[in-house]
């Protein structure tokens, strides 16, 4: 089975390219700037050239704050490019695995969001990702969209590495404690994708195509996430910056973020038997690598 992975240098793309795929899997990859999701023709040419049996889209414009002033750039990658990809996959009759975000929700719900809850993005990034979801659903019947949240890895840029970098320079860190969600290791998300691909390979006719939530198990806040990072930093190095819980209002950013980002993962478990590990467990594993 030949799998085309778009966005190989990103957090998820890297984990997918370095994962242990079963024998008989051939991987092909595309990366910016040779391959540009936002440039007309690139997606179609890549799908044509590689002639894969399945595509995983790991590209995205992920600069949440910058997107507020670069709407067209975010839209070109996350919505328009994704629409072209869905059409290209449908044209060849191949499945598309796509990734979306908790930021498609407005965060106003009490409790975890299910796949049936209406989206209501409060940022340009969230809106562009919501448009990408619609484009995939409309353009390619054989799709799995995994909505995940707060992704980090030892490779790439993310909150964990930001905390470690700032934590090495500053005595105090101030982090918001009123936005709730679940950190997700890119390696766990990649493992879920491998399991879904295995199911598709086994018998595509029985795959329950659709949107699924797929995050680390449990819930915390960005402050709780940082607390665990600094606990481990302390254990490993003896250094621990003071961590102060603040409110969203104390930390103004160009983009609004949902106060509640919790996603209910039970549909993924029921349909595919996939459940990601508790977020603390995966974070400790990634920190072991980062702090080694």
Ligand X SMILES: Cc1cn([C@H]2C[C@H](O)[C@@H](COP(=O)(O)OP(=O)(O)O[C@H]3O[C@@H](C)C(=O)[C@@H](O)[C@H]3O)O2)c(=O)[nH]c1=O
Q: Which residues are catalytic, by number?
A: 125
Classify residue 132 as exposed, middle or buried by CB count within 10 Å of its CB (0-12, 13-18, 19+): buried
With beta carbons less than 8 A apart as the criterion, state whether 42 and 229 touch.
no
Residue at shortest CB range from ligand X: 101
CB of 239 to ligand X, least distance (A): 17
Range 142-181, binding ligand X (CB under 6 A): 149-151, 159, 162, 173-176, 179
Contact region for ligand NDP (CB under 6 A) — 6-14, 216-224, 254-262, 284-292? 6-14
Contact of residue 279 among ligand NDP, ligand X, none (CB under 5-8 Å per partner type): none
37 touches ligand NDP (CB under 6 A): yes
> How far apart, in whole angstroms, are the C-alpha atoms of residue 115 and residue 142?
17
Whose Cβ is closer to ligand X: residue 207's or residue 243's? 243
Is the preceding omega at residue 276 within 30 degrees of 0, hence cis?
no
The least distance separating ligand X from the CB of residue 184, rounded to whole angstroms, comes to: 8
88 contacts 6 by C-beta, under 8 angstroms: no
Binding residue for ligand X, selected from 43, 47, 64, 86, defined by CB under 6 A: 64
Count other Cβ atoms within 10 Å, centred on residue 67.
25
- Quote the least distance from Cβ 111 to ligand NDP, whole Å: 20
- The β-bridge relationship of strands 220-221 and 180-181 is antiparallel
Q: Give which of 111, 81, 230, 209 is closest to 167, Cα–Cα.
A: 230
Task: Let me know: does 281 contact 131? Beta carbons within 8 Å.
Answer: no
Task: Give the shortest CB-108-to-ligand NDP separation in angstroms.
Answer: 19
Shortest approach of ligand X to residue 73 CB, angstroms?
A: 14
By CB under 6 A, what part of segment 68-127 binds ligand NDP? 77, 99, 101
Q: Is residue 191 involved in binding ligand X (CB under 6 A)?
A: no
Total residues interacting with ligand X, rule: CB under 6 A? 19
- SS3 (DSSP) at 266: helix
Task: Based on the shown chain and the rule CB under 6 A, indicate whether residue 187 belongs to the binding site for ligand X.
Answer: no
Name the one residue in this structure whose structure tokens are 């240098």.
9
Beta strand extents in 142-246 (DSSP E only): 143-148, 151-152, 172-176, 180-181, 184-185, 210-213, 220-221, 242-246
**Residue 130 or residue 243: which is nearer to ligand NDP going by CB?**
130
Interface characters, 234-253, with ligand X (x: CB under 6 A): -----------------x-x
Dihedral of CA 193/67/86/208: which sign? positive
| Phi, psi (degrees; rounded to nearest 5) at 16 | -65, -40
Q: Which residues bind ligand X (CB under 6 A)?
A: 62, 64, 101-103, 149-151, 159, 162, 173-176, 179, 222, 251, 253, 257
Q: Which residues bind ligand NDP (CB under 6 A)?
A: 7, 9-13, 32, 35-38, 58-62, 77, 99, 101, 129, 148-151, 156, 186
């Amino acid at each position: 089975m030949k799998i085309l992975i778009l966005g190989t240098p990103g957090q998820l793309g890297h984990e997918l390219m370095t994962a242990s795929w079963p024998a008989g899997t051939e991987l092909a990859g595309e990366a910016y700037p040779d391959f540009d999701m936002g440039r007309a023709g690139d997606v179609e040419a890549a799908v044509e050239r590689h002639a894969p049996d399945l595509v995983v889209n790991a590209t995205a414009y992920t600069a949440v704050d910058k997107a507020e002033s670069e709407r067209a750039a975010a839209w070109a990658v996350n919505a328009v490019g994704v629409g072209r990809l869905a059409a290209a996959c449908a044209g060849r009759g191949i499945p598309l695995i796509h990734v979306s975000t908790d930021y498609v929700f407005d965060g106003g719900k009490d409790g975890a969001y299910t796949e049936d809850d209406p989206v209501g993005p409060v940022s340009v990034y969230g809106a562009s990702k919501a448009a990408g979801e619609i484009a995939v659903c409309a353009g390619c019947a054989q799709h799995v969209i995994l909505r995940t949240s707060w992704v980090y890895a030892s490779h790439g840029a993310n909150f964990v590495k930001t905390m470690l970098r700032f934590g090495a320079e500053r005595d105090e860190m101030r982090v918001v404690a009123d936005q709730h969600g679940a950190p997700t290791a890119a390696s766990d998300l990649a493992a879920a994708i491998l399991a879904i691909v295995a199911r598709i390979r086994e018998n595509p006719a029985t795959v329950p195509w659709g949107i699924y939530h797929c995050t680390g198990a449990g819930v915390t806040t960005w402050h709780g996430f940082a607390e665990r990072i600094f606990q481990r930093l302390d254990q490993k190095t003896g250094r621990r910056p003071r961590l102060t819980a603040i409110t969203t209002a104390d930390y103004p950013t160009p983009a609004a973020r949902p106060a509640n980002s919790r996603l209910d993962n039970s549909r993924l478990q029921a349909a595919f038997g996939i459940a990601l590990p508790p977020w603390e467990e995966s974070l400790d594993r990634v920190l072991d690598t980062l702090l080694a």
